[in-house]
Structure 1
Amino acid sequence: MNPLMELKKINPYGVWAYDAVSALAMAIERTQTSSKIARDTSLMDQMLRISFRGLAGTFQLINGRMSTQVLEIINVIGNRERRVGFWTKEVGLTRKIDELTSIPEIIWPGGISTNPHRMLQTSRKPQKLRIGIPLAFRKGRLLQVNSTIASGFCPEVFRAAFNGLGWYVAFEYIPVIPNATIGKVNYNDLIDQVHNGKFDVAIGDISITSNRSKYVDFTLPYTDIGLATLSRNADTSIWIFMKPISSDLWVVSACFFILTGIVVWILEHRINEEFQGSTAEQIGTTFWFAFSTLVYAHREKLQSNLSRFVVIVWLFIVLVLVSSYTATLSSLLTVEQIQLASKRGSIGYQYGSFVKGALVRNLNFEDTRLKPYSSPEEYADALTRGSKNGGVDAIVDEIPYIKEFLALYPSGYSMTLSETITNGFGFVFPKGSTLAPEMSIQIAKLREDGTLKLLEDKWFNKKSDSATGPKILNLESFRGLFLISGVSMASALFLYMLYFVHEKVHFKYTMLAGGKLAFIMRFLIPRFASLV
């Protein structure tokens, strides 16, 4: 052997390569007796037929691929290795090939013989899961803590998701006492405690952010994503009924009411006595008929089919207008239309929340307009006073907090959906925890089977009056309807004129055909001759 040659340990690929070269050599030897013409075909056939026991076990090609019949299982313990057994297709795991015996225990990292993934489940003595809870002096429904017992929407979702794992583990709830101002919790401190290993998990109204995700693992969000605006319901004014429709639509609608009345009068006054009489009576009847169609109170009987056609089309348009007006007016009476970006009033947000930064960065709010509050009671007081009396015109917060408020104050307030610039609430686990992805799977299952919705209804028991704001009706939205009405009236007048001209021409033709013109000429010509 060359002393300069470096000896290296052979890997599995080298063993398989050695067996493949041996098989090729055997196939070549078997083709020496074959004819030269068929040598290539015979070599392939011989390779597929060869079967022998090599370094890696039995060597055999099936459909051009090597058949692996036996796998050796090795338990790696530090720098050492221990043979556990073999796996065969026929008998599965065995201690020896062709002999089914017991398999020795696997030694896992740390020198334990129990699968760490199932350790919590298989341990004889249930271990406690240390759960950190943000303790704040607020009476809400997201999280309620009495001594070491946690209740509310967040803990119930956590328990429902954890029960889906099938692990029977005792929970130890550890409240996080605020260090600074009473009632205020620094959630970043709670994240740090999970990162440092003080807690196995943290639950509560903890928002998912990119910065926090650098230090801990979050589950999928189990709440709605985004911000919402909380405001008091609008105070009605004497001119509230004018707001659902824009000024141009009011003017065009009034003109079409009058135009419809005039067209019906033109079509009816020659044959219908109800549209005849003095000039004042005809004008009064025309306007009464036109505007009474708004409430379908017209009593005049129409005799012309053309006028009936015009009125039917117009009544359909009135139905659409009235229905749209009613829906928009209802929305205006329910939700106060606050244009936050242009209004100079004050806006409230939750103390210590990252929502303040989101409002300034993403929604272009001024710092001077923002006021912090800590509880639903403070929210209600600030909205009641309004910005003119030291309060605020609206509260901008994450949707779960707004739903919690509406559950406590079900009347007098409404929620309007805003921007989806937050990621919702999630459960917090240490970085690399195997529980985070498994809990995310369980949260997805809870959302799919409706359990999450049932828990939300249980704790928030009120459907929020959420909306993106009713759209004021304008002319552009209904120009197609007015076009249809105009075309119907123009068509009716055109047909009426054709009928009128036809009637006049027919009358003159009848007069000529009856000889009346000849009688008149004979009567006039002698007189004319005598004058000449």
Structure 2
Amino acid sequence: MAIEKLLPVSSNLLQLSHGENEREISNLGISKIGQKLLTELSHTKFSGLSGKFELVDGELKPLAFEIFNMIGTGDRTVGYWTPSRGISKILRSTSAKELKTIMWPGDTLVPPRGWAIPSSGKLKVGVPKKEGFTEFVKVQVDPLTNQPQLLPFKLDYEFVPFMNASGHRNGSYTDLLHKILDQTYDFVVGDITILADRAAFVDFTLPYTESGVVMVVKNKMSIDMWIFLKPLRWDLWLAIIVACIFIEVVLRIMERDQRNSTDAGSSMPRGQQVGLFVFPIAALAFPERNMVSNNWSRFVLVVWLFVAFILMQSYTAKLSSIFTVDQLEFSFSEEYYVGHQHGSFTRGFLINELHLNESKLRSYRRFEDYHDAMSRGSRKGGIS
């Protein structure tokens, strides 16, 4: 049929080769109209004994699509689909317009929750109404229609803010999730923490960010003119002073004979040497050969320098940490008031897990409220 559409049948369809070795593939006959014939074959359609003949992408178009159920590593045919009959259990049946029983993951015949679409055609999505911390979810009401604004494109969802008549939140996050049970909402979106007791009656999607529970307290670090003394304890400062006096006495004894002569190996005046001995820490800035002449005195200074460098490194590290690391010292007290997010699960966490007095808890909605409460403190009506 394809050849007759192109040209009459003749013996001149092949271009014979005239190579020396006719057994080689390159010497086989080549059709002059091969590409045109291939194109015509791909567009040829007719009805034969086995049904309709039609090629799609070079392959015979299937008469029906098989629908199969994946079970573990195997599969099971549950029905067929044809353009004329649609879905059916049996390929040539027109009566059973449904599939066979589906085996769902977990070896159950019950479809998982969430597959049922409401008769209205729209899913009701609960959204928490928040006054502060709206980085994750924020509800805006259109002033003209008095309806919550939707996304700027069409979706088959109806966003329903979880708020009362006055425009505030209509309960806690747990109350919002319970609205799924009474079918007020089909599902809920927002910054909802996954808890064990909540997961007992609703299903959660995997979280895309982790925040955790944190405690914010005031920084107890105070900077004053005597802060340079804080890196070392008072007993260590006392030990350093005693060590300086001891080294002074030792050096004076060792250098007693050399001080009788101004040329006893020291290039510095006698009065200057005595001043250096009073404060051996000055040895860090002057070579020991200019301070002492006795070899044993030099040995004592070397030991002192070694100890002094260790003290300097420890002092520098501790002073740097005081200026760079927050010195947080906090413990719960009966005098402290503790703030928490309004409607959050943290209220129950503070009461049940940390055993705080419920009368000492205060809830806030915005971060400005937290700042004001932390600034005033517990004694002035705020929080700690």
Superposition deviation, residue 108 in structure 1: 6.5
Q: Please name the residue that 1:191 is paired with.
A: 177
CA distance in 1, matches of 2:124, 2:249: 82
- Indicate how the Cα distance of structure 1 residues 312 and 235 shifts in structure 2: closer, same or farther if over 3 A, else same: closer
- Indicate how the Cα distance of structure 1 residues 192 and 274 shifts in structure 2: closer, same or farther if over 3 A, else same: farther
Code of the aligned partner of 1:223? E
Q: Please name the residue that 1:211 is paired with.
A: 197
Is residue 132 from structure 1 mapped to residue 126 from structure 2 by the alignment? Answer: yes
Q: Please name the residue that 2:379 is paired with.
A: 388
Report if aligned partners of 1:267, 1:307 keep a CA contact under 8 Å in 2: no
CA distance in 1, matches of 2:189, 2:372: 29
Code of the aligned partner of 2:78? N
Q: Please name the residue that 1:500 is paired with.
A: none
CA RMSD of aligned residues (A): 4.4
Higher relative contact order (Cα pairs below 8 Å, separated by 6+ residues)? 1
Q: Please name the residue that 2:48 is paired with.
A: none
Is residue 176 from structure 1 mapped to residue 162 from structure 2 by the alignment? Answer: yes
Code of the aligned partner of 2:299? L
If the length of structure 2 is used for normalisation, what is the TM-score? 0.54
Q: Please give the residue correspondences for 1:58-457 in structure 2 after superposition, counting only pairs within 5 Å.
A: 73=76, 75=78, 106=99, 130-138=124-132, 140-147=134-141, 148=148, 172-178=158-164, 182=168, 185-221=171-207, 222-231=209-218, 234-259=221-246, 270=258, 273=266, 277=270, 284-290=275-281, 292=282, 297-298=285-286, 301-302=290-291, 304=295, 305-307=298-300, 309-331=302-324, 335=326, 337-342=328-333, 344-393=335-384
CA distance in 1, matches of 2:231, 2:165: 52
Q: Please name the residue that 1:505 is paired with.
A: none
Superposition deviation, residue 262 in structure 1: 5.1
Report if aligned partners of 2:376, 2:383 keep a CA contact under 8 Å in 1: yes
- Indicate how the Cα distance of structure 1 residues 315 and 243 shifts in structure 2: closer, same or farther if over 3 A, else same: closer
- Indicate how the Cα distance of structure 1 residues 150 and 384 shifts in structure 2: closer, same or farther if over 3 A, else same: farther
- Once the two structures are superposed, residues 66-85 of structure 1 have per-residue CA deviations (whole angstroms, 9 ceiling, x without a partner) of xxxxx994539xxxxx9769
Superposition deviation, residue 317 in structure 1: 0.1
Q: Please give the residue correspondences for 1:23-38 in structure 2 after superposition, counting only pairs within 5 Å.
A: none
- Indicate how the Cα distance of structure 1 residues 239 and 388 shifts in structure 2: closer, same or farther if over 3 A, else same: farther
Report if aligned partners of 2:126, 2:185 keep a CA contact under 8 Å in 1: yes
- Indicate how the Cα distance of structure 1 residues 284 and 377 shifts in structure 2: closer, same or farther if over 3 A, else same: same
Report if aligned partners of 1:132, 1:175 keep a CA contact under 8 Å in 2: yes
- Once the two structures are superposed, residues 282-341 of structure 1 have per-residue CA deviations (whole angstroms, 9 ceiling, x without a partner) of 664223332x46xx545763554524532441243033212322233214xx63534223
SS at match of 1:218: coil
Report if aligned partners of 2:374, 2:383 keep a CA contact under 8 Å in 1: yes
Superposition deviation, residue 379 in structure 1: 0.4
CA distance in 2, matches of 1:258, 1:342: 46
- Indicate how the Cα distance of structure 1 residues 177 and 368 shifts in structure 2: closer, same or farther if over 3 A, else same: closer
Superposition deviation, residue 259 in structure 1: 4.5
Code of the aligned partner of 1:314? V
- Indicate how the Cα distance of structure 1 residues 321 and 235 shifts in structure 2: closer, same or farther if over 3 A, else same: closer
CA distance in 2, matches of 1:274, 1:336: 49
More helix by percentage: 1
- Once the two structures are superposed, residues 349-393 of structure 1 have per-residue CA deviations (whole angstroms, 9 ceiling, x without a partner) of 223333233234433544444332221111011112222322222
Q: Please give the residue correspondences for 1:513-528 in structure 2 after superposition, counting only pairs within 5 Å.
A: none
Q: Which runs of 5+ in 1 are unaligned?
A: 1-70, 77-81, 86-94, 96-103, 110-115, 121-126, 152-167, 394-532
- Indicate how the Cα distance of structure 1 residues 190 and 308 shifts in structure 2: closer, same or farther if over 3 A, else same: same
Q: Please name the residue that 1:58 is paired with.
A: none
SS at match of 2:332: coil
Report if aligned partners of 1:244, 1:328 keep a CA contact under 8 Å in 2: no
Superposition deviation, residue 150 in structure 1: 7.9
- Once the two structures are superposed, residues 117-175 of structure 1 have per-residue CA deviations (whole angstroms, 9 ceiling, x without a partner) of 9x99xxxxxx8654321012225423322244589xxxxxxxxxxxxxxxx97654332
- Once the two structures are superposed, residues 414-470 of structure 1 have per-residue CA deviations (whole angstroms, 9 ceiling, x without a partner) of xxxxxxxxxxxxxxxxxxxxxxxxxxxxxxxxxxxxxxxxxxxxxxxxxxxxxxxxx
If the length of structure 1 is used for normalisation, what is the TM-score? 0.41
Report if aligned partners of 1:360, 1:366 keep a CA contact under 8 Å in 2: yes
Code of the aligned partner of 1:144? K
CA distance in 1, matches of 2:379, 2:75: 80
Superposition deviation, residue 186 in structure 1: 1.7
Code of the aligned partner of 1:347? V
Report if aligned partners of 2:127, 2:160 keep a CA contact under 8 Å in 1: yes
Aligned pair count reads 266
Code of the aligned partner of 1:328? S
Name the % identity: 24
CA distance in 2, matches of 1:178, 1:259: 79
CA distance in 2, matches of 1:210, 1:351: 20
- Indicate how the Cα distance of structure 1 residues 382 and 355 shifts in structure 2: closer, same or farther if over 3 A, else same: same
Superposition deviation, residue 268 in structure 1: 5.9
Code of the aligned partner of 2:315? V
